[in-house]
Every structure is written in C-alpha cells, then in structure tokens.
Amino acid sequence: MPNYNALSLISKIRSEAHKMIVSELEKRGIGDIVPSHGDVLGLLFQQDGLSIKELANKVHLTQPTVTVLVNKLERLGYVDRIKRGEDSRVTFIKLTDKSLALKPAFQEISDKLNEAIYGGLNPGQREDLEFLLEHIYRRF
C-alpha cells in the first residue's frame, strides 16, 4: 500500500523554506522582517499602493491579519499609509525608501528559494509540480 504523505512533505518544505528565508535575511543584516512580512512587501514590490483589502485578497489572508502585518511594517518604517481619492475610508499602503532598498535582497532570496524548489527539475517537471500543487490548493 502506498504511503500518502503529501501534506507532511508540504509542511516540511514550508518549514525549511521559512528557516532559509530567516537565515538569508539575517545574513543580510535584516533582523526585523519575518517571512509573513515578505508576502506583503513582495506584493508591494510588484504593485505599490494597494489597499488592505487588495493586499489581503492577493496574499490570501484576512484583512485583520494583513492590518497587523502592515501596522508592524509601518512602525518599522517600511510602509506608509496614504489616503487618496474621494473615499477617505480607503487607505493605500505605499513602500518607503527603506523598503525599496530591500528589493535586491528579496530578489536574491527568492532566487535561492526557487533554486531549492525547482533546481534539478526539467521544464516539464516544473510545470507538473505547479499544476499539481495548484490542483490541490483549489480543492480547499
């Protein structure tokens, strides 16, 4: 009988990736950022000036959770809250110069993670892996 342990393997991969991220951040002297902050910052590197609601939807977290992350990033000087437009209830989260200076380090760490995940796989295997993981994710 096969030993179905995909969830255990996914959990172990996530744990090892988390350790790698923390280690790589520390090597670069970035001790105040944790992997959960990276989700928000990484998204803002791609599209700066998103609302909390947009961030929450894109990183698949609740708005209160994203608010806590943004509050911490704001206290650390990595993001600013900007009110603009006609609806003053909507606040947009913008990167600061301090966070923009982290972009090269984030890219290096991302490249290292991608190598750990996809290294040694041919293009077809990479596509298969993505397809299978996406298939599993969508079932939840």
Q: What is the pTM of this model?
A: 0.85
Query: If DSSP codes are grouped into helix, strand and coil, which group holds residue 80?
Result: strand
Quick count: other Cβ atoms within 10 Å of Cβ 51?
16
Query: Cα separation of 17 and 43, whole Å?
Result: 18
Q: What kind of architecture, by CATH, is found in domain 6-138?
A: Orthogonal Bundle (1.10)
63/19 Cα distance (integer angstroms):
26
pLDDT digits (tens, 9 = 90+) for 17-28: 999 999 999 999
- Host H or E run for residue 91: strand 91-95
Task: State the average pLDDT over residues 61-65.
Answer: 95
